[in-house]
Amino acid sequence: MTSPRPNSLVLYKNRPAKLLQSGDKLEIKLEDGRHLKVRPKDVALLHPGPVDNLSELKPQFGDVETAWELLAGSRTSLPELAELIFEAYTPATAWATWELVLDGLYFYGEPDAILAVSAEQVAQTKADRAAKTAREQAWIEFIDRAHQGQIEPDDQVYLRDAESLAFGRVERSRVLHALNISETPETAHAWLLKTGAWDETTNPYPSRLGLPASSSAVELIDLPHEERLDLTHLAAFAIDDEGSQDPDDALSLEGSRLWVHIADVAALVPPDSPADLEARARGANLYLPERTITMLPSQATRLLGLGLSEISPALSMGLDVNDEGEVTHLEITPSWVKVQRLSYEEVETKLDQMPFQPLYQIAQTIQARRRANGEISIDLPEIKIRVIDGEIVIKPLPSLRSRDLVREAMLAAGEAVARFAARQGIPFPFTTQDAPESYDFPDTIAGHFARRLTLRRSQLTSMPGPHAGLGLDIYAKATSPLRRYSDLVVHQQLRAYLRGSRLLDTQQILERVGAAEAIEGDVRRTERLSRQHWTLVYLMRRPDWQGQGVVLEKRGPRSLILIPELDLETQLHLREDLPPDSTVALKLNRVNLAELDAHFRIVAE
């Protein structure tokens, strides 16, 4: 094409422009009236003109398909193609022809070198465009239905967008944006519930906090052939809540010696093995009302759970406890044990029988020493909530002496192991807790609640120190290696020391437990939110629920109230200021499941 002259039609950034003046720089006028000076190489001639006004470039009608068929396999120019399609080469037909090239369905190329698209590609492009048009129309129809609260089975493809936001996997939702709904996980959850796409049984919190949806499935090594102390002659008891699936501790009595047997997890999960790395990334077992997601593969529980086989491998700790509740001697040894599984309720009825009576006496002695050393006791109502075959079962956890028995034995083992590690110079994850400034509150529900608020967070550290809440001068979590990664690290160190193997150094310990502890915080938060979720579902299914609440404290214009039978806190405006520990009769008002909020009102008793 020749160099453009004033009043010719040129192409600038794929839009039409009128050339006003030539020279080293070309002055052009755009569709919106703006004048620009551009380089000659930045424009291409479409028509020599003259063109008076760009508004002359109106849509044209011609035989496009015939021209395309005639040009199959050949090359042409813009003027020739305009003549072929529109039977005239004018500014208007030149621009209309170039728009066809830009569209790309039948033609492609440059103004001076235009080619016809193959028949196969035209067919494919038409199919793609038809599919796109259908998708756009389907989207418009879906949004229209969604505005009216009507969702159809085929809408699942759109619902996944909102589900991803509700699960916390993305931060935006095209659906919610189109519906002019704020884009948060809570609003997405509420919308899915409202439309019926979700029901109340969907628990979004594990996914929302980024936790795995299934248990570990890595392979374990075989149990090593090694010398183990045969303690199968001792009666050993794994005492836990009814329905517990991962028994990892048991108790025995040999004369006056207390034996604490712990599942020997480190025997199958050495440091930096695939199972160890997986457990470290998970931090701890995730206990949800509807299921349990474990940090170790199910094979670990099957092989190591105490009492799941006739004979179980254990890491046993023999504790000699004096009359002051102090451990005067500790023996740690890999062992074989024969364990009987019992529930807390079963043991509660046998505390006056052998061997539970002397076991409980030892536990009382240990507890008395901790109390004398400033143990901070917290005794608040607790529940166990489970989903069984779709039904939500909430049971109170009674304050049983059998629970005290197990707890004191495990604390004594943790203290004794920590002292052993400190004395032997074993790098170890000790658990410490600073003392609160004040914890002198009455032994009531409100008092224990206030006392709990004063407790400082416990810490995992390489330096031994006191644990104020437990009333211990030194302590390490050591009795749940199937359930907590930090306990597994303790067992890995003990096992390496006993075998004379290489120990993890302090930096390695801190890196491991630090990574696991960060994840464990999300695990515990997920458990708390999930329990609250299912508690609210329990209430939704009982719209006429009534019960008792206990006033805990005043918070601004409202009072914080605990519902003991649900272990649920709520805030209410009271007509009169009631002192802590006052009871009020409550009736369920409404539940906002997406916001994890339940509203109650006071009723006359």
In DSSP notation, 109-170 reads: EETTEEEEPPHHHHHHHHHHHHHHHHHHHHHHHHHHHHHTT---GGGHHHHHHHHHHHTTS-
Which pLDDT belongs to residue 1? 45
Neighbour tally for 109: CB within 10 Å:
16
Rg (CA), the chain: 37
> Which residues, at least 6 apart from 305, have a Cβ–Cβ distance to it below 8 Å?
245, 246, 247, 248, 263, 312, 482
Give the residue among 392, 386, 212, 382 at the shortest CA–CA distance from 286: 212
Phi, psi torsion values for 27, nearest 5 degrees? -95, 125
CATH of 542-602, one of 2.40.50.180, 2.40.50.140, 3.20.20.70, 3.10.20.30: 2.40.50.140
Q: How far is CA 279 from CA 213, 216, 283, 512, 569, in A?
A: 14, 8, 6, 10, 33
Vertex 144: Cα angle to 143 and 147 (nearest 5): 80
Cis amide prior to 6 (ω within 30 degrees): no
Which pLDDT belongs to residue 150? 85
In sequence order, which ranges of 393-502 are alpha helices (DSSP H)? 401-424, 445-454, 485-499
Contacts 24+ apart (CB under 8 A), 65-71: 65/106, 67/106, 68/106, 68/107, 68/116, 68/117, 68/122, 71/107, 71/115, 71/116
Could you report the average pLDDT of every consecutive run of 10 residues in the chain (605 residues)? 81 94 92 93 93 91 94 92 95 96 94 93 95 93 89 88 95 94 96 93 96 94 93 96 89 96 97 96 95 95 94 97 95 97 95 95 96 91 93 93 96 97 96 85 90 90 94 96 96 96 95 91 96 97 95 90 95 88 94 96 82
352 torsion bin: left (phi>0), alpha (psi -120 to 50), beta (else): alpha
- For domain 120-198, the CATH class is mainly alpha
What is the token pair recorded at 549? 């609440």
> Which residues, at least 6 apart from 278, have a Cβ–Cβ distance to it below 8 Å?
216, 218, 295, 296
> Which residues, at least 6 apart from 16, have a Cβ–Cβ distance to it below 8 Å?
9, 10, 31, 46, 54, 57, 95
Which residue bears the tokens 């170890």? Answer: 428
CA 577 to chain CA mean position, Å:
40
> Which residues, at least 6 apart from 391, have a Cβ–Cβ distance to it below 8 Å?
none
Q: Give ranges for CATH 1.10.10.10 in the chain.
A: 120-198
pTM: 0.84
Distance CA 278, CA 272 (A): 9
Q: Which residues are registered as beta bridge partners of 584?
A: 549
What is the spatial order of strands in the sheet that 546-555 belongs to? 568-572, 558-563, 546-555, 583-592, 597-602
> Which residues, at least 6 apart from 469, have a Cβ–Cβ distance to it below 8 Å?
375, 376, 378, 433, 455, 458
Q: What is the DSSP letter of 433?
A: B
> Which residues, at least 6 apart from 80, have a Cβ–Cβ distance to it below 8 Å?
none
The secondary structure element, H or E, covering residue 28 is strand 26-29
How many residues can be counted in the chain?
Answer: 605
In sequence order, which ranges of 22-74 are alpha helices (DSSP H)? 64-70
| 3-class state of residue 286 by DSSP | strand
The secondary structure element, H or E, covering residue 220 is none
Phi, psi torsion values for 286, nearest 5 degrees? -105, 110
The amino acid that residue 456 corresponds to is: R
Distance CA 101, CA 78 (A): 9
Q: Give ranges for CATH 2.40.50.140 in the chain.
A: 542-602
